[in-house]
Amino acid sequence: MRKDSIGYRHSEHSVGLATIHLVWIPKRRKPILVGNIKLRLSEILDSVAHDNNWIIKAKEIASDHVHLLVEYDEKTAICDVIKLFKGRSSRLLREEFPELKKLPSLWTRSYFYDTSGKVSTSNVMAYINDPHHERH
């Protein structure tokens, strides 16, 4: 996998950029992501990204929610990206901070995602709908 000067990822059969904005919350929206838990969560998220050759472009860990902007590979489904971040962080944080075991689970099952890229949706729609495609 290599990146060109524009920032697109090149693999054997594809060229592109997949970026996703993810948001998720602790169970019962408890404000538990503070202090050492917040610091450790940040490290864990970085390690998941590193292990998968993803790039965290932006990260915010508030006391009751997490925001990530992640550039990821074309072979991984969005549901698997969030599963890897939430799964490893839940397991490790609950092992390292026993007080988190008071919750039935660390994270809710739900999450928010929004895909983004270098070109806005409106620009892509305008390009696709442009009559120049009708020329043969």
State pLDDT tens for residues 100-124. 999 999 999 999 998 866 666 667 6
Whole-angstrom Cα distance, residue 34 to residue 19?
Answer: 27
- DSSP three-state, residue 104: coil
Average pLDDT, integer, range 80-87:
98
Please give the class, per CATH, of domain 2-134.
alpha beta
Whole-angstrom Cα distance, residue 116 to residue 89?
Answer: 24
- DSSP three-state, residue 129: helix
Residue 134: pLDDT over 70 = no
- DSSP three-state, residue 54: coil
Q: Band the pLDDT of 136: cuts 50, 70, 90.
A: very low
Q: For the segment 5-54, what is each residue's pLDDT rounded down to a tens digit?
A: 567 777 777 887 888 999 999 999 999 999 999 999 999 999 999 999 99
Residue 84: pLDDT over 90 = yes
Instruction: Report CA-CA distances (Å) from 115 to 29, 52, 77, 90, 104.
Output: 24, 18, 12, 24, 30
pLDDT at 45: 98
